[in-house]
Amino acid sequence: MFILIVLMMIMPFQQKAQIEVKNAWMRPGAKDMNSALYFEVINRSNKADTLYDVKSDLAQKVEMHETYRQGDMMGMRPVKMVAVGANSSFKFEPGGHHIMFINLKKNLKKGSPGGEVTLYFRHAGQIKIKPEVKK
């Protein structure tokens, strides 16, 4: 009985997070200009989750966008949310989905600390990340 109680106490700490965000990085950008954030979301749970908001003090405005191609033209458009299926992953990557930082409040140089970004998931709640600034 004692062992069972100890195991029950330890198990929650040994479980991996249901949503993991890894390889977060941002492009360099000068103050008052824009940058983009990229990362991978891994959903280890048996139900889908949704990233519905992103907040950060790094820029005046933070939005989720996707890049699209039409013939030899390319553009970007905002997306309201991104669903990550059960036991699957989703990549925010150059030329695809990205988090847009509009009007940066400071210079983001390669190697400098990017600052904190909070991702809001429907089920997993808030996840804070500190992206690396690189090219």
Partner 1 sequence: MRNFYRLLPLFFFFLALLTSGCKDKLPVKDDLSNAHYVFLTQDSSRVVFPQNVKGKVVVLGLIFTHCPDICPLITNNMERIQKEAKKEGINDISFVSISFDPLRDRPSVLKEYADVREIDTSNWVFLTGRQSEIDSLKKQLHYVSIAGDTTYSESGEPSYFFVHTDRITLMDKEGRTRQEYKGSSLNVDEVMKDIKTLSD
User: Per rule CB under 8 A, is residue 106 in the interface with partner 1?
Assistant: no
**What count of residues does the chain have?**
135
Q: Is 113 exposed, middle or buried (0-12, 13-18, 19+ CB in 10 A)?
A: exposed
Q: Which of 60, 87, 88, 126 binds partner 1 (CB under 8 A)?
A: 60
Among 19, 21, 24, 29, binds partner 1 (CB under 8 A): 29
129 lies in the binding site for partner 1 (CB under 8 A): no
Among 67, 82, 120, 127, binds partner 1 (CB under 8 A): 67
Q: Containing H/E element for 1?
A: none
Pick between residue 61 and residue 91 the one whose CB is nearest to partner 1: 61
- Nearest partner of 59 among 115, 21, 113, 111, judged by Cα: 115
Identify the bridge partners of residue 126 per DSSP, sorted by sequence position: 120
Residue with tokens 């029950």: 8
Identify the H or E element spanning 14.
helix 2-14
Q: How far is the CB of 107 from partner 1 (least distance, A)?
A: 6
* Residue 53: how many other CB atoms lie within 10 Å: 16
Least distance between partner 1 and beta carbon 93 (Å):
10
**Which residues would be at the binding site for partner 1 (CB under 8 A)?**
27-30, 32-36, 60-61, 65, 67, 69-70, 72-76, 94-95, 98, 100-103, 107-110, 135
